[in-house]
Amino acid sequence: KAGVTQTPRYLIKTRGQQVTLSCSPISGHRSVSWYQQTPGQGLQFLFEYFSETQRNKGNFPGRFSGRQFSNSRSEMNVSTLELGDSALYLCASSLAPAGNTGELFFGEGSRLTVL
């Protein structure tokens, strides 16, 4: 079956702009989690959605937001981009809510560069 699909794979933005990233989970998976990966901080949890509800949120400013649609597809948005937002943004889907010993299936990520 098709894996987790993230779009776009690469994008370049300038400071102050906003960006929307998309994630299509594996068919049947209702949980979608978002992570930011940087060389210095590793994978940091952004938020998790399950059945269109945000179940958990990491320690990121309000400029980072997300949502999940009825078909489980998810989007995350970052407004007023800063240089430090440059990172690989990973989406992961799972059958059960994340952290419930269920396996996370990751997409290939969206690499954002902020100039």
Partner 1 sequence: TQLLEQSPQFLSIQEGENLTVYCNSSSVFSSLQWYRQEPGEGPVLLVTVVTGGEVKKLKRLTFQFGDARKDSSLHITAAQPGDTGLYLCAGAGAGSYQLTFGKGTKLSVIP
State the minimum distance, in angstroms, from the CB of residue 105 to partner 1: 8
Residues 12-31 touching partner 1, rule: CB under 8 A, are: none
Q: Which of 51, 103, 113, 115 binds partner 1 (CB under 8 A)?
A: 103
Structure tokens, 53 = 């509800």
User: Is the CB of 79 or the CB of 106 nearer to partner 1?
Assistant: 106
Strand partners, 56: 48
> How far is the C-alpha of 10 from the C-alpha of 64, rounded, in Å?
18
Applying CB under 8 A, the span of 11-19, 61-69, 77-85, 97-105 interacting with partner 1 comes to 97-105
Q: Cα–chain-centroid distance for residue 101?
A: 20
- How many residues of this chain interact with partner 1, rule: CB under 8 A? 27
Check if the beta carbon of residue 23 is closer than 8 Å to that of residue 63: no
Q: Which of 7, 14, 17, 41 binds partner 1 (CB under 8 A)?
A: 41
Residues 59-88 touching partner 1, rule: CB under 8 A, are: none
Q: Cα–chain-centroid distance for residue 18?
A: 15
Strand partners, 33: 48, 92
Residue type, 52: E
- Give the residues lining the site for partner 1 (CB under 8 A): 4, 33, 35, 41-45, 48, 50, 55-56, 58, 90, 92, 97-101, 103-109
